[in-house]
Structure formats: structure tokens, C-alpha cells
Amino acid sequence: EAQVTQNPRYLITVTGKKLTVTCSQNMNHEYMSWYRQDPGLGLRQIYYSMNVEVTDKGDVPEGYKVSRKEKRNFPLILESPSPNQTSLYFCASSLRGELYNEQFFGPGTRLTVL
């Protein structure tokens, strides 16, 4: 089944404890992206990657890191999480041709930082 998977789905952690949220897609998509969704602020792009070894900042990159060593994986790293990073996180992927470039989203990761 073609899908975007995220792990973990739920995470409660404490301030300063490094964590990684994994994202994997099995559709051979070039493009991958991370978003956070907060009440009243909507969905905001954190980082995106047009292809392997190519990453760019979105609108809210502060406090996050990403890497794209393989086409299928795009982990989101929080080196020192803070309570303001409590949010619902989504990973997405798509092709980058002229057609068939709709974004497919993962199920989301709900993160709470105490």
C-alpha cells in the first residue's frame, strides 16, 4: 500500500531531551516536507526537501533539524525541545513532475513537551 508513515504517533517528553520523529514513504517521491499544526495558526511548513541531500527552510524552521540521506526517509530532529514545540506534526511527500505532484500526508505525530 502506498503510504507515508510517521513514528511515533504520540510522544510526551521533557524540555531539552533530544528526540527524532521519523517519516518514511514507499512511493519513490522526490519531495518531502514537514509541517506543524497549531490551533489558530493553521498548518505551517517547517522544512522541505526537493531530493536527496537537498533541504530548505520553510516558514518556521527554528529549533528543528532535518536530513535527507535516502529518498524514502526524512527525519525531523528536535535537539533541545521546548514547550512551544508542543504541536501536531505532519510529514508529506510528492512527485515533482509536471503532473501527479499532489502531496500525500502521513497520519501525524502528536508531540507534547513538558
Partner 1 sequence: KQEVTQIPAALSVPEGENLVLNCSFTDSAIYNLQWFRQDPGKGLTSLLLIQSSQREQTSGRLNASLDKSSGRSTLYIAASQPGDSATYLCAVNTNAGKSTFGDGTTLTVKP
Which residues make up the interface to partner 1 (CB under 8 A)? 31, 33, 35, 42-45, 48-50, 56, 58-59, 90, 92, 98-99, 101-108
* Residue 17 to residue 68: CA distance in whole angstroms: 22
C-alpha 65/C-alpha 15 separation (Å) is 16
For residue 21, the minimal CB distance to partner 1 (Å) is 14
Pick between residue 47 and residue 82 the one whose CB is nearest to partner 1: 47
Nearest distance, CB of residue 102 and partner 1, angstroms: 4
Minimum CB separation from partner 1 for residue 77, in Å? 19
All cell numbers assigned to 19: 528526540
State which residue, 48 or 78, has the beta carbon closest to partner 1.
Answer: 48
User: Could you give the C-alpha distances from 106 to 5, 14, 25, 80, 98, in angstroms and in order?
Assistant: 5, 24, 9, 24, 23
